[in-house]
Amino acid sequence: MAVDYDLVVIGGGSAGLVAASAGAQLNAKVALIEKEPKLGGDCLHYGCVPSKSLIHAGRIAHDVRTAAAYGIHTDIREIRIREALGHVHQVIDTIQEHDSTERFESLGVEVIYGEGQFVDGRTFAVNGRSLQARSFLIATGGRPSLPSIPGLREVGYLTNLTVFSLQELPAAIAVIGAGPIGCELGQALARLGSQVTILASRDQILPQEEPEAARVVQHQLEAEGICVLTNTRAAEARSQEGRKVLITNTGETLVVDEILLAAGRMPNVESLNLQAAGVQVGKQGILVNEKLQTSNRRIYAAGDVIGGYQFTHVAGYEATVVLQNALFFPTKKADYRVIPWATFTEPELARVGLTEEQARKRYGDEIAVLRQEFAGVDRALAEGAGLGFAKFITRPDGEILGAHMVGPSAGELIHEVVLAMSYRLKVGTLKSFIHVYPTLSEINSKTALQLTKQSYAANDRLQGLLRRFFDFRRSIGR
């Protein structure tokens, strides 16, 4: 049976845009469907881009506020949240040009705006049209989940979908959730002038991270005046004299002006009529195999809608896997062996691979833990950024199992380790080439050097041989 398209992409976010643009440039006939009247998805409009832009504004305010430490004495007269958010939206508008309808149409993509659904396993209906394709990609992303807190819906709340539209800065704000979104936005809003309280349901913030690295971030948040409540959940919400009140499971009462939800996400699948297409959905999202095929082998899924690693860079990678499988032959498997990520608080926190606990569970004591403080990196000291450390977990032979950094530019610095792990290079590679002095990147070579030092310190025979060698050379005067 003839079909209209080689590939129909449903969702104009990170995964969908990568697949649509690349597919069209390969001369495939591609349609891209997006229910919102703009492309870019959550990352551009409500996630990575606006949050990092707001974080930058908060960092400037913090730098001005703490400039006296460098002999620069000044005061912040006023912080205008509308102008700060104006910077956020200016950045979005600039990047939007790259994700414009016109650009994608110029590449040969047919862009269709509208909300549609599957009619059967190879037909998608939108705007009164029935689109048939050899393959489909579902990349509809996710959205903030609403925790089951009595009264929360009635009193109102913010999410990452609405926080960047604030007209006034809340004097006090409670952040429910201590993952990356909650910590990043909580610190940014605090630096811009809000009194922030973060509710962490576990005994540490950023629960997916190495505990000692997360503690460094928590101590910095607290040093900046943010109240972090661990092992704490919101149990009830209500209104009181125009403000919002949260009652916690510990009996504490928080009176704030706004509540920001940052406690998980859920996939956007309800309107797609996936049952008609024979596509199965689990608790975290659409179920896929290693090739990112759904239970209907003609239909693929990628990005936040499948759960897993919910990062823009992972969604883009998954799109490349789908593209090869959907347009050519379904032989490529998604490889999640080396997935880095970063949390853009200050200090930044970055990670790739296993934590120390995970490595010990897998390999027992046959691992080496290498650690280097940023206080031992001259560039960090010069910039007053000696807080934090790098921690690598390796096998005794130098195989890198994981790396964790908390400190200045950690999200940039982690990529040397990502490269080494991707190509299965030993940790010694990171100390074998010359790093520019003074740069923060010396943290990688200095951390890698710790394995050599540990090996030498544990080798009594080698130390004895070297002592006798130098004793002999001195004795003969040469």
Mean pLDDT of 72-96: 90
Q: Are 351 and 341 a contacting pair, CB within 8 Å?
A: yes
Q: What's the pLDDT at 3? A: 78
Q: Are 52 and 29 a contacting pair, CB within 8 Å?
A: no
Q: What's the pLDDT at 42? A: 86
Q: What's the pLDDT at 97? A: 86
- Alpha-carbon gap, residue 69 to 181, rounded angstroms: 29
Nearest to 305 by CA among 127, 94, 139: 139
Q: Are 43 and 20 a contacting pair, CB within 8 Å?
A: no
**Quick check: 74 pLDDT over 70?**
yes
For residue 50, whether the previous peptide bond is cis, meaning omega lies within 30 degrees of 0, is no
pTM: 0.93
Whether the CA torsion 329, 337, 419, 395 is positive or negative: it is negative
DSSP secondary structure of 265-292: EEE--GGG-HHHHT--B-SSSB---TT-
**Quick check: 137 pLDDT over 70?**
yes
Model confidence band, residue 412 (pLDDT cutoffs 50, 70, 90): very high
Fold of 347-457: Enolase-like; domain 1 (3.30.390)
Whether the CA torsion 352, 411, 181, 374 is positive or negative: it is positive
- Alpha-carbon gap, residue 46 to 48, rounded angstroms: 7
β partners of residue 390:
372, 405
Model confidence band, residue 478 (pLDDT cutoffs 50, 70, 90): low
pLDDT in tens, 390-399: 999 999 999 9
CA max distance for the chain: 95
Q: What's the pLDDT at 423? A: 97
Report the CATH architecture of 152-263: 3-Layer(bba) Sandwich (3.50)
Report the CATH architecture of 5-143+266-327: 3-Layer(bba) Sandwich (3.50)
Cα dist from 124 to 121, 134, 135, 275, whole Å:
8, 12, 11, 13
The CATH 3.50.50.60 portion of the chain extends over 5-143+266-327, 152-263
Model confidence band, residue 18 (pLDDT cutoffs 50, 70, 90): very high
- Alpha-carbon gap, residue 385 to 63, rounded angstroms: 12
Q: What's the pLDDT at 8? A: 98
- Alpha-carbon gap, residue 441 to 345, rounded angstroms: 19
Backbone angles phi, psi at 423, to 5 degrees: -105, 15
pLDDT in tens, 290-335: 999 999 999 999 999 999 999 999 999 999 999 999 999 999 999 9
- Alpha-carbon gap, residue 138 to 307, rounded angstroms: 13
- Alpha-carbon gap, residue 196 to 190, rounded angstroms: 6
Model confidence band, residue 102 (pLDDT cutoffs 50, 70, 90): very high
- C-alpha of 370 from chain center: 24
Q: What's the pLDDT at 157? A: 96
Q: What's the pLDDT at 1? A: 59
Residue carrying the six token digits 């650690």: 371
- C-alpha of 68 from chain center: 33
List own/partner pairs for 289-292 with CB under 8 A and 24 or more apart: 290/333, 290/334, 291/321, 291/325, 291/330, 291/331, 291/332, 291/333, 291/334, 292/318, 292/321, 292/322, 292/325, 292/334
Q: What's the pLDDT at 77? A: 85
To 5 degrees, how large is the angle CA 174–CA 161–CA 259? 15
The CATH 3.30.390.30 portion of the chain extends over 347-457
Q: In the predicted model, what is the mean pLDDT of the chain?
A: 95
DSSP H or E stretch at residue 90: helix 81-96
- Alpha-carbon gap, residue 382 to 195, rounded angstroms: 31
DSSP H or E stretch at residue 119: strand 117-120
